């Protein structure tokens, strides 16, 4: 073999070895990258959840909003084997905690407990730090209850119709309590005032307990409040119940008529509770959370705990809950506008 031919053969062999090494390197690199891409997306349903989930409650401890969070967090932890912590972030009319979740990553590791004010706040606060519809992903309608319309014992009325007549004869002289601007008992009464055509004075409190205490003491005349909060006093004869705010009568007070049937046709207020996440959550994550939460609300021990606080479990699909939120926003926008309600 000539020196020239030998050189060409050697060069070809070296090129073949180089090509083979490059191909092998690319193959190995691809095999290494693929698992890294798979494990870098823990939010995928196959891997979710793989770390601590945070459940934000924009209310102080106590009350059903907090109870709901602790029930759900414990049951999720039992089912999925990861920590689920409840973080109470009250303040700003629920805006502080809600804004924090609106700005969180949509990876399923941050949840928000929402309730009645969530649908009213867009009309009360003109500069919300978030968009109630666009900045959240509805997950599930958790439960609902009703408010009970109660009056102090010395109030000379025994029915909704008598209350309306009395208020019309004494405009501006009848007072009602609430747990603050935009609360369910505040807007329940403002809707009642609007539909009944009466003028009564609003006295806001920092919670149900001081409001009920003043009602019992005769410092205010009447109030709407969650049925479990005032039913013991009603049963004890310390105040009178005139009606329930829901469309149908309450199982806790079956002898008390609805406000609608007692004198204000069409009146209805539902006190509701639900769970949302940040906007743009992947459909697979939403479905996984919704399915597990529906299973939780169907558990006998959970249903008993709801019933003990006068709350009915609801459940359902994320779409149904999204529709409910939009309907609440629309409903309370008119009430807030007509009553000229402003934030505190």
pLDDT at residue 343 is higher than 60: yes
- pLDDT at residue 37 in the model: 38
- In tens, the pLDDT along 241-260 reads 999 999 999 988 899 999 99
Q: Point out the least confidently predicted range of 22-36, 86-100, 162-176, 181-195.
A: 22-36
Specify the domain boundaries for CATH 3.40.190.10 within the chain: 147-262
- In tens, the pLDDT along 96-105 reads 999 999 999 9
pLDDT at residue 1 is higher than 80: no
CB half-sphere exposure, 290, CA atoms < 13 A: 23
Q: Could you tell me the CATH superfamily of domain 147-262?
A: Periplasmic binding protein-like II (3.40.190.10)
- pLDDT at residue 208 in the model: 87
Specify the domain boundaries for CATH 3.40.190.150 within the chain: 53-144+271-339
pLDDT category of residue 332 using cuts at 50, 70 and 90 = very high
Q: Point out the least confidently predicted range of 43-47, 128-132, 170-174.
A: 43-47
- pLDDT at residue 319 in the model: 98
- In tens, the pLDDT along 188-207 reads 999 999 999 999 999 999 88
Between the alpha carbon of residue 231 and those of residues 148, 227, 246, 250, the distances in Å are 8, 6, 15, 11
pLDDT category of residue 8 using cuts at 50, 70 and 90 = very low
- In tens, the pLDDT along 291-313 reads 999 999 999 999 999 988 889 99
- pLDDT at residue 206 in the model: 83
- In tens, the pLDDT along 55-66 reads 999 988 888 899
What average pLDDT score do residues 254-277 get?
A: 96
Task: Enter the CATH code of domain 53-144+271-339.
Answer: 3.40.190.150
Residues 6+ away with beta carbon under 8 Å from 256 = 148, 241, 242, 243, 244, 249, 250
């Amino acid at each position: 073999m000539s020196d020239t031919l030998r050189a060409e053969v050697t060069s070809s062999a070296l090129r073949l070895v180089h090509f083979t090494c490059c191909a092998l390197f690319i193959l190995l690199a691809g095999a290494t990258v693929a698992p890294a891409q798979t494990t870098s997306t823990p939010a995928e349903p196959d891997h979710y959840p793989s770390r601590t989930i945070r459940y934000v409650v924009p209310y102080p401890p106590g009350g059903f909003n907090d109870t709901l969070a602790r029930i759900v967090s414990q049951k999720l932890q039992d089912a999925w084997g990861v920590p689920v912590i409840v973080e109470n972030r009250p303040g700003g009319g629920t805006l502080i905690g809600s804004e924090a979740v609106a700005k969180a990553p949509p990876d399923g590791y941050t949840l928000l407990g929402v309730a009645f004010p969530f649908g009213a706040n867009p009309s009360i606060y003109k500069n919300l730090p978030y968009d109630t519809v666009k900045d959240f992903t509805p997950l599930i309608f958790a439960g609902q209850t009703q408010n009970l319309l109660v009056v102090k014992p010395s109030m000379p009325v025994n029915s909704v119709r008598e209350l309306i007549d009395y208020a019309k004869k004494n405009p501006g002289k009848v007072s009602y309590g609430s747990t603050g601007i935009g609360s369910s008992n505040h807007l329940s009464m403002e809707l009642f005032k609007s539909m009944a055509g009466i003028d009564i004075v609003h006295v806001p409190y920092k919670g149900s307990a001081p409001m009920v205490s003043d009602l019992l003491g005769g410092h205010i005349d009447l109030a709407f409040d969650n049925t479990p909060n005032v039913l013991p006093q009603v049963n004890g004869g310390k105040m009178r119940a005139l009606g329930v705010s829901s469309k149908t009568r309450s199982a806790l007070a079956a002898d008390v008529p609805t406000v609608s049937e007692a004198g204000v046709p069409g009146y209805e207020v539902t006190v509701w509770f639900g769970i949302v996440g940040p906007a743009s959550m992947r459909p697979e994550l939403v479905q996984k959370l919704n399915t597990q939460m529906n299973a939780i609300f169907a558990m006998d021990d959970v249903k008993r705990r709801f019933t003990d606080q006068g709350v009915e479990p609801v459940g359902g699909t994320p779409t149904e809950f999204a529709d409910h939120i939009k309907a609440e926003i629309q409903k309370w926008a008119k009430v807030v506008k007509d009553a000229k309600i402003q934030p505190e």
